[in-house]
Each structure stands twice: as C-alpha cells, then as structure tokens.
Structure 1
C-alpha cells in the first residue's frame, strides 16, 4: 500500500508535507513552517507524528517545530546541527533512514544553504527538496556557490523522471515568468506557465511537480542544454558558467 501524502500550505507561501503509512500507523512531517495548519491536518485525520524531518535551518522551515515535537523523532543534517533545533537523529549525504516503514535516502544539496539536505523516498518516488530544487526554479544562494548548487541540481536531476518533487514554496508563477524571459518561444515553458496561471486562479497549489516536468521546463536543471545556452547568447560557455548567469539574472528579476 502506498503512503498518503498531504501538502499543507503554511505562512504566506511555504509548504509542509505530511506522509502517512496506514499499515504501520506512522506519520512523518517534512519541515515545520507553522504549527497550526499542520496540527489541524493531523487532528482532522487522527494522526500523531512519529518523525519530523528538517531540510535546513531557516526559520520558515523550522519555527513551528517545538509546538509539534511531542514524542516524534526529529531528524536533520549533522552539518547543520549547530543551528537546527535539537535533533534526535543526525544524518549526512548517503545515509538511509527508515521512516513510516520505508527507506529514505539522504542527499546533500548545498547551495541555498550549506548543509541543506533533500530526502528521497525511493520506492514511493517522493523527493522532498525544500529550497534546493523548486518548481521551475531553485533557491537563492544565501551561503553556497553557483558551482555547489549546479552540482546539487545534477544530483537531483539524475533521479528517475517519474519522481514527485515536493518543494518548499509557491514561487512557480514568478519562476515561470523568469523562465519565459530566457526562452520566450519555448513551447513547454509556455504551456506550463499557462497551466500555472490557471491553477493559481483556481486556488490550487502548483507543488508537488514531476521531475520529468522540471527537467523539461526548469532552467536551473538545463544549464547544459545547448538550446538554453543559445537562447541567452552563451553557446560557447560551460554549464557552470551558464548556471551562474541564470541564477544572477533570477536574483535581479
């Protein structure tokens, strides 16, 4: 039986994700932007948290933790432990955890911050990326370098294309406009932009998204695509240089 995934809007534009396994009765949470809407979702279903996974230390991903901690096991990156809330389990790149009776692989995806991790539920094809890979974008580089983030993007891109990407924010509308500014004639980007507009007008989230769609329309996964390189007049540049340029353009957008 597959796990149940609940996407919970928090704060202004954050998302938290609740994972529930009916067979074991266990329930996990990825990131805690705000306690109240998460607790309401748990209460509605009669679920109690067994695990809380933290992707990185920023307040808008951890500030609701203490109100929800209870007896849950709190999991986060060893490299980030000095600035995360108290952890019960510290993890690093390449580790495998058991959460809700399922294997969860830990991936270091530094760039937005140093020590940012993603959690990959392999058999369920669920990937929790927070502020590394986003819908049609990637996180601003507050601590890492463009080269680090490009390396992280390649690691995530290498996963199976039918993976569902659960990212941390509803930024897709702006990210789509930026992608169109780079490639105004890209039919896949035009189509996704229109779909995003329709979804938001009808109050629907644009997260999660399929990795296959991100690989097709997310410029930050396509820094080695000759079509994108030509579109931004960098046909002779290396992928890391192209990634650096598009990240800088996004920062100014």
Structure 2
C-alpha cells in the first residue's frame, strides 16, 4: 500500500471517490468529523476508559446513519483509542502514561527522520507547496481556531512525510501519528499554543529550505517533544 493510499484507505470504490473529492476540497467526511469529536471526548475524559460506544446510540446522538458511525469507530480502533471486544462491542481504551510517552518518543524520531530526508530530497515544487501551507498556518495562528489549525497542520506534516521521498518511512510515520493524533490535537487548545507551534514549524521549514538535514531533524524532534509537553500540560488542566 502506498503512502497516498494510506491517507484515504477506501473500503469501496464509491466511498473512495467521495473521500477523494472531499480530500481535494479539504473538507473532512462525516466519519472523520465524528472521529475527531469522539477522540476529543476520549482525550478530555468525557468518555472514560471502558465506556461503551454503541453504534445505534451514537447515530441517534449525532443525527446520522450508522454508516459514518461504523467508519469512525473503525478509524478509532485502528488508532488504538477504542477496543472492539467480543459481545461488548466497542469500548474506550486508554494507553498508560508509559505507553503514551513511548508513542511520542517514536513519533519524534520518525518525524525527525522524515524532516531530515526532506531537507535533502524534497523537490522544488513540494518545497513551494510546503511554504504555502506554512504561510496558511501563520495566518490561522492569529485566528485562534484550533480545529482549523489542526486540519491544516495535518497537511503540513503530510507534506514533510511525502517530501522524504521514502514511501515506506512515510507510511510508518503516518501510522504512528494516527495512534497519537487525538493527543496531538488536544494540545492546540492550550492558550498561546498556535503561535508557539507556528514558531516551531518555522524552524523546521527554514532548515528544510536550506537543505540542512541535521537542522531539520533537530527542529522537528524538538517540536514533537514540545507537543508532548503541551499535551501533558493540557491533561493536567482538565
């Protein structure tokens, strides 16, 4: 499976066509919106570990059919946030503190590797695209909209993964990020975090544009470490 395939992971051609159209428009699907809402509630503790996630109840709660609910639960299972148990359906899981630290450590090293490779290998057209996304994030950092910032932030990191010119490493990095994505997303709600994240991104982009592999790797690793610290601060404040 290629890196681009992982960004969609269609189950049926028709669903893939709709997902592709939404992706081009930058519009999340209803299943993705549900996944984000549920993941936020899990991270915030609104849905505690062990809480049951019934498809019918969720469909009624969000006024949707069971199809997007089923897809959202599938994505959350893949991310490790929920577990599917025989005769119990889906229930909320919660990684231990040690497990979460380990996930962030792996994330930091993988993203650092992608950034370093991108500094050496990213073609000019992809560099221009990365600069455009970075500028979009700069504008959004003033708006104070963490949800929109998160959406564009996903594109920013995806562009760096792809810029590594190594599909296998990009796939592993994306798969790992999916596991920690709700926790990364939560930290954007900290006061002043959008501006800080933008400044951290700036150091990564400057190093990539200079072709500085060591600098790009270091800047990205530092960025993910700070993301982990910001999430821990967020979790303590709940």
TM-score, normalising length: structure 2: 0.34
Greater relative contact order structure (CA < 8 Å, 6+ sep): 2
Query: In proportion to residue count, which structure has more helix?
Result: 2
TM-score, normalising length: structure 1: 0.33
